[in-house]
Amino acid sequence: MAGVRVRFAPSPTGALHLGSALTAVANFLFARRAGGEFVLRVDDTDPERSVRRHERTIRQDAEWLGLRFDEGPDEGGPYGPYRQSERMPLYFEHAERLVASDHAYREDGAILLRAPRADIVLHDAARGDVRVAAGAITDFVIVRSDGTATYQLATAVDDHLMAISHVIRGEDHLTNTARQIALSESLGWTAPRYAHTALLVADDGLKLSKRTGAPSLAELRGEGYPPEALLNYLAELSCPVIADGPSLLGALAQRFELRSLSRGQSRFDRGRLDWLSQQHLKRLNSLELARRVGQVLELRGVAWHPAQMTALGEGLKGCQTLVDAADAAEAVLVAPRVPPALDEVSRRAVALFRDVRAGWPEPYLAPVEADDVLVELRRRGEEEGLTARELLHGVRVGLTGREHGVALRYVIAAIERSDALTGRAA
């Protein structure tokens, strides 16, 4: 697959939503498997709707996901400029060529391409040959009456001039593909190889898009999904044969195949995303998980000591998202606003815990040291006639105000000594 060049060409009219991200991931994985180039080209030919800050957020979201561009507005490259608004003279030049060769004509200030008289055969890398009958496409505008180039002309010209070898996008672009092939043939060019993937739809079968409320990457990131899980999930949606549990970028790219792109509809399955998120968080080493959870806590204004997050890291691995993990960590790090009122048994359990913990002068404990505290606590509890359940339940509620949460060994390790001895429980 020498010479593979693919592009991601978003319109900077809003955040990067899940449907567009799916297309970006498919192109990126194909480029990485082929050792080719992944190009960012900004489709900003609509000046009223295109906003530069959206371009920045789209790039940031794509890079957070793990996608890296080889060429683009910031990277530069031999085929620039990479914003279509900066390439208008090229489009006008080729529109005039089409008029001169009688493939296009002027009409009320606009320029229209003459519809092809023969069938158009689209050689789809995933679906095989797709035939668009003559007459299915009528004459269409390539330069508007206000003098701006349309999407069809700009895309066909740029794909050729930027040496794009493959165009991978949603099947809703099939009619666009036929028009762009007609443009390429009218200009005497060989069109890129096309491959169309299934549309991403909601449970009701309606297409997920920017306009229909598809979740943006920023929203999913805010919900605590790690980028590895989202990349994994989008890769599976675009090419189902690569689904093999939690996988990282290298393995996903190695298994990616154009001929196995999804067809029909791909449903957004929140349950699958949740499962992948949990599995990827489990695969992180404890220090990296603690670092990411710490970032979420900082955004909330929750202070923490590195020793606390180090202690909690392993205990947070069962969480489904980073937000869930931060919630669990916050319950340990932040004392209840109102100390829990304990029954007599729980008060005895907390008193025993404080007595045992007082024998350890370190401000924070490692989990293995907390295990020693628990061993001594159980021994003392038996002497006092407390069952293991009464003892551990009382200590947890006394320290966190909650009946469930991170394993108690991590709670004991993460709470600072003076805090554990003086406060938290009434």
Which pairs count as long-range contacts for 69-76, CB under 8 Å and 24+ apart, including other chains? Answer: 69/8, 69/38, 69/39, 69/40, 70/31, 70/37, 70/38, 70/39, 71/37, 71/38, 71/39, 71/40, 72/39, 72/40, 72/41, 72/42, 73/40, 73/42, 75/40
Query: How high is the pLDDT of residue 344?
Result: 93
Query: How high is the pLDDT of residue 54?
Result: 87
**Residue carrying structure tokens 């900003």:** 44
Cα–Cα distance, 24 to 84 (Å, whole number): 18
Query: Which amino acid, one-letter code, is at 204?
Result: D
Query: How high is the pLDDT of residue 339?
Result: 77
Query: From residue 138, how far is each of 97, 129, 178, 234, 346 by CA, in Å?
Result: 20, 21, 11, 35, 80
Query: How high is the pLDDT of residue 311?
Result: 93
Query: How high is the pLDDT of residue 347?
Result: 92
Query: How high is the pLDDT of residue 51?
Result: 75
pLDDT tens digits, residue range 48-92? 676 788 899 999 999 999 999 999 999 999 999 999 999 999 999
Which tokens in the block code for residue 405?
A: 């949460």
Which residue, among 327, 230, 237, 229, has the nearest Cα to 282 in the 3D structure?
A: 229
Query: How high is the pLDDT of residue 213?
Result: 57
Query: Is pTM, for the whole model, over 0.85?
Result: yes
**Residue carrying structure tokens 């799916």:** 22
Query: How high is the pLDDT of residue 52?
Result: 83
Q: Is 143 helix (H, G, I), strand (E, B) or coil?
A: strand
Q: Which residues of the chain have pLDDT under 50?
A: none
Which residue, among 258, 259, 273, has the nearest Cα to 27 in the 3D structure?
A: 258
Query: How high is the pLDDT of residue 45?
Result: 80
Cα–Cα distance, 348 to 66 (Å, whole number): 51
